[in-house]
Structure 1
Amino acid sequence: MTMTVGDVIAERAVQVTRESLVRYAGASGDFNPIHYRDDIAAEVGLPGVLAHGMLTMGIAASVVTEALPGTARLLDYGVRFARPVVVDPQSGAQLTVTATVGAVDDNEVRIDLAVKHDTTTVLVKAQLLYAADSL
C-alpha cells in the first residue's frame, strides 16, 4: 500500500448512543455514573452524560484499522482529550473521524486523526504509528 503525506486514507461518521455507552461500560468495567445517569452528570457540573474517553479513542482508531491491510502492525497510538462528547438521550452523538497520512519514512508511517463531535474537535494530537513494511 503506497502512502503519501496528505492522503486521506479513511473517513467515517459514527453514531454513539446511550446504548453504546451501556455496552462499553459492560465490556470495559467502567461503570462511572457520569456515563449513563443525567442526574449524576448534572450534579458534578457536566453538560450531560459523557461518552467514555477510551470509547471515543477506540472508535477513532477503528476507522484506521478497518482501512488498512490485516498485516498492518501498530507501533504506537496516542491522543489528547480536548473536549467531552455529550451523548443526548434521544439523538446520541455523531463522531466524524478523518485519517490522514501525516508522515512517511522507510520505517514508519504516521496517521493523523481529526476527530469531531458536530463541529467541535474532541481529540487532538491523535496519531497512530505503523511499521512501514507492514502496509
Structure 2
Amino acid sequence: MTPTSATTSFESLAIGDTIAGTPFAPTRETIREFCDASLDYNPLHWDDAYMKGNFGKTSFGGIIMHGMTNFGILTKMLTDWLYPMGGVHRRLETRWKAPVKPGDTIVPTGTITAKKETAGSRWAVIAVEIKNQHGTTIAQGEAMAEFPPAR
C-alpha cells in the first residue's frame, strides 16, 4: 500500500485531508537489523532471556521493536506523499505510546490540521499516528511540511 491522498499540490490541500502510509510488520530479523544499523543493542530488542523479567515496572512479554523504527515509518509516509508534489519534510515530533512486537502489523496515517502561507514559503501541519492491527495507538505526534514556491 502506498500513501494515498487526492492532494496533488499545496493549493489542493484541505484541512482534514488524510495520508495513508505503508503497513509494516516487524520480525525478529528486522528488529535485529535495526540493532545493527543503529548500533543500539539494548537487550529490550534482542535478548529473550532478559525480556522474561520486568523492565522497570513494565513487562513487555518479549522483545520489542525500537521506537525509532516508528519515526522512520512516519518519515517514509511523509516523504512518499510530499516529494511528488514538491513538498519537503521539515519537522517531526512523536511520542511512543505502546510497544511493537514481532508479529504485529503497524500502519502510519496523517491528517492535515493547518495550512499557512508566509512571505517565503507555504506550510502544512500534519497530525501523525501509528496504530497496530488491534487499533491501539503505538505512536502519535505532529509533522510540518514545506511547499517552497516555484521560482
Same fold at TM > 0.5: yes
SS across alignment from 2:24:
strand
Residue matched to 1:66: 80
Q: Name the residue aligned to 1:23.
A: 33
The aligned runs of 1:1-135 (5 Å cut-off) are 1=9, 2-44=12-54, 45-69=59-83, 71-87=86-102, 92-106=103-117, 107-118=122-133, 119-124=135-140, 126-133=141-148
For each residue in 1:71-112, what CA deviation from the matched residue of structure 2 results, as whole angstroms up to 9, or x when unmatched?
43222110011111122xxxx221011122121111321122
Amino acid of the residue matched to residue 130 of structure 1?
A: A
Amino acid at match of 2:147: A
% same residue: 25
Whether the 8 Å CA contact 1:72–1:134 is kept in 2: the answer is no
- TM-score computed with the length of structure 1 as normaliser: 0.85
The answer to which of 4-13 and 114-123 deviates more is 4-13
Structure 2: runs of 5 or more not aligned: 1-8
RMSD: 1.9
Letter in 2 for 1:4: A
Greater relative CO, 1 or 2 (CA 8 Å, sep 6+): 1
Alpha-carbon distance in 2 for matches of 1:11, 1:54: 16
Contact map agreement 2:43 2:50 (CA 8 A) in 1? yes
Q: Which has the larger radius of gyration?
A: 2
- Offset, 1:18: 1.0
Q: Aligned pairs, how many? A: 130
What is the letter of the counterpart of residue 30 of structure 2? S
Structure 1 stretch displaced more, 50-59 or 40-49:
40-49
* Contact 1:47/1:86, CA 8 A, preserved across alignment: no
TM-score (norm 2): 0.77
Q: Distance in 1 between matches of 2:145 and 2:24?
A: 23
